[in-house]
Structure 1
């Protein structure tokens, strides 16, 4: 069977284990059902997730023009502390920025390769943790806008990592840690404006991924360069497909690529 479509990040269900779906315009593929099957990927072209044109993808699934023009790719997406909608100040499109920035946000600790701090909209819990390949996570604060979450994250980055080591995450080279202890230890470092939003008594969330075999030496597939790849799917973690030969493919990092997927 052959499926053709534009890659976007896999949709997920928070079950045990996590369920993954690759969604195309006219089809979707339940990826868990492909475990231990051989699949073939072929790069056919591009389709910008904003303008829909066959233009080379620059970042985050967007062509270069859209990346530097559209509000969905504003700097505040990656750097929440740059949010200004709460001040009624526009970056690229104030109506869009208010819609996204002026809603409850969570600052959290997640453990995927190490303990890291992160920010997400409350509506994206636990999806954000799944996408990062975290096997455990806990909320620290819930604030009413993205700016407050951003300044809290910046303050905590001085005391804990804010990046995931993707190789360690995929190799499952991890330790179980008490994130509630970390949460309480980091509380004094939160900015004064966010202290009142501290979450005191919540428990860790545990996540289990559908992986039959972890890679010993993960090597990343560059579908733009290699064009085609065939391999036996043995696991899915974060937004990565894991193959028997230790090849890994980051679906989210390849958003906007038009592909054939055959099974």
Structure 2
């Protein structure tokens, strides 16, 4: 069977194990059902996720023009502390920014390769943790807007990492941590504006991924450069396909690429 479409971040369901779906315009693939099977992929082209033009992708699935114009590619996406909608101040589109920024946000701790701090909209829990390949996570602060979450994350980055080591995550080179202890240890470092939003009593969330075999030395597939690839899918973790020959393919990093997948 052959599928063709524009790659976008896999949709997920929080089950045991996590369920993954690769969704195209007129079809979808339940990726869990492909584990243990040989699949072939071919690069066909590129299509901007915003304007829809068949044009080179610049970042985050957008062409260069859309990346610098679209409100959903503003700097506050990656750096929540730059959010200004709570001040009624526009970056690119105030209506959009109010819609996204002025809603409950979670500051969390997640353990994928190490304990890290992160920010997400409340509606994106636990999706954000799944996308990062975290095997355990805990909410530590719930605030009413993105700015407060951002300044809390910045303050806590002095005491805990804010990045995931993707190689360690994919190799499953992980250690269990007591995130409740981490939460309590970091409480005193939360900024004054966010202290009242600290979550006092909650438990860790544990996540299990559909992986039969972890790569010993992950090597990243560049489908645009290589053109084609075929191999046996042995797992999915985070937003990565994991193949038997140690090849890994980051779906999210390839958003906007048009591919043909043969099963």
**TM surpasses 0.5:** yes
Give a deviation string over 1:119-178, Cα, whole Å, max 9, x none.
Answer: 000000000000000000000100000000000000000000000000000000000010
Q: In the alignment, which residue of structure 1 is the partner of 2:149?
A: 149
Q: Distance in 2 between matches of 1:224 and 1:69?
A: 25
Q: Distance in 1 between matches of 2:229 and 2:72?
A: 31
How do 1:114-133 residues align onto structure 2 when only pairs under 5 Å count? 114-133=114-133
Q: In the alignment, which residue of structure 1 is the partner of 2:44?
A: 44
CA RMSD of aligned residues (A): 0.3
Q: In the alignment, which residue of structure 1 is the partner of 2:29?
A: 29
1:80 equivalent to 2:80? Answer yes
1:15 equivalent to 2:15? Answer yes
Q: In the alignment, which residue of structure 1 is the partner of 2:207?
A: 207
How do 1:135-174 residues align onto structure 2 when only pairs under 5 Å count? 135-174=135-174
Taking structure 2 as the reference length, the TM-score comes to: 1.00
Cα offset for 1:66?
0.3
Deviation beyond 6 Å, 4+ runs, structure 1: none
Q: Distance in 1 between matches of 2:216 and 2:200?
A: 38
Any unmatched runs of 5+ in structure 1?
A: none
Q: In the alignment, which residue of structure 2 is the partner of 1:93?
A: 93
Cα offset for 1:224?
1.1
Q: In the alignment, which residue of structure 1 is the partner of 2:188?
A: 188
Match of 2:193, SS? helix
Match of 2:58, SS? strand
Match of 1:68, SS? helix
1:225 equivalent to 2:225? Answer yes
Any unmatched runs of 5+ in structure 2?
A: none
